[in-house]
Chains A and B, each alone.
Chain A
């Protein structure tokens, strides 16, 4: 079980490291896609279908546990947001946030159609 957790941690740390390096190289004070890179690493590892390297079920449980903890963690994340701060900051910030969300939601179907058009242009 610890192998799974260790593997997951290793992917995350490597991803964060690469993401921070990318940020430094680009000259921005932020992590560029660290989590995404870690996810791709884990994906590649879990799609590895060779005989020598298959994860045993207990190792998989170590990763599965954290995957299942995702929703509770998100609930805790919601509970520590600065909601009072957002609500008391005045109209400008709220309007800016709300309109940005509406505009972004509206773009999803547009882009989704664009992306699928390439595959089935019937």
Chain B
């Protein structure tokens, strides 16, 4: 009976349950960071990695597509980690960010968005061709998916791609976003990702808002507003270019 009541309380107050769950996850992560790695691996990096592991478990256990949020008890995690709160918190990080850096890096930041979309698209398209896809619509959709997991389906739908190709493009984008979250703190020192200027470029090149948000949080939270700023334009640019110019380019080449 106690368990029934507990379960009911936890699931009717889903968002609050999520606060407790995430709080505990972060606490454990900082404990691991301090005791096991002596602070070498940042606590938030571990927390994000643990989050992904938990999401993987959730997907295996339920067969759903929303990670641990598919467990009824933890559905609130889906709200807390959904696009609404994510974007809200990202906007809040802009408060107190340096306006001058933004102005100075404006041009190269904008350039990085276009280069980033093009680069990921070409890489994705080439991989698709190497794996034996020859239909321009399929190749374009998979290339678009390598940009972000939103650009992929938007492009695929616009071009009339089949649903399994669209699913593949989403998977390519998801792989990218997960890898950016995990990989950024490790690669950051090598690529000079330690100042607002390179963070702007990083956001533009990577483009996956979740990946950039997670990657920078785990590297240096102070850089978040700069990277997020450019990343947020990436999906729009990708949705603009992929079904139009880039699709035509693929058609000419294939």
B interface size (C-beta, 8 A): 113
Known contacts A92-B168, A99-B127; A30/B58 CB under 8 A: no
- Using Cβ atoms and an 8 Å threshold, which residues of chain A touch B90? 35, 39, 70
- Using Cβ atoms and an 8 Å threshold, which residues of chain A touch B225? 39
Q: How far is the CA of A81 from the CA of B210 in the complex (A)?
A: 9
**Contact in complex: B91, A81 (CB < 8 Å):** no
- Using Cβ atoms and an 8 Å threshold, which residues of chain B touch A101? 176, 179-180, 183, 206
Interface magnitude class on chain A? 35 or more
Known contacts A79-B58, A80-B68, A96-B128; A36/B229 CB under 8 A: yes
**Contact in complex: B197, A43 (CB < 8 Å):** no
- Using Cβ atoms and an 8 Å threshold, which residues of chain B touch A78? 47-49, 51-52, 55, 81, 181, 210, 214
Q: Who on chain B is nearest to A116 by CB?
A: B197
Known contacts A30-B154, A99-B127, A103-B119; A79/B55 CB under 8 A: yes
- Using Cβ atoms and an 8 Å threshold, which residues of chain A touch B49? 78
Some 17 contacts from A to B, beta carbons below 8 A apart, are A29-B158, A38-B91, A39-B225, A40-B94, A46-B94, A66-B89, A71-B217, A72-B80, A78-B210, A80-B78, A81-B174, A81-B178, A82-B55, A92-B168, A96-B145, A96-B175, A112-B197
Which A residues have a C-beta under 8 Å from some C-beta of B? Answer: 8-9, 11-12, 15-16, 19, 22-23, 26, 28-36, 38-40, 42-44, 46-47, 60, 63-64, 66-67, 69-87, 89-101, 103-109, 111-112, 114-116, 119
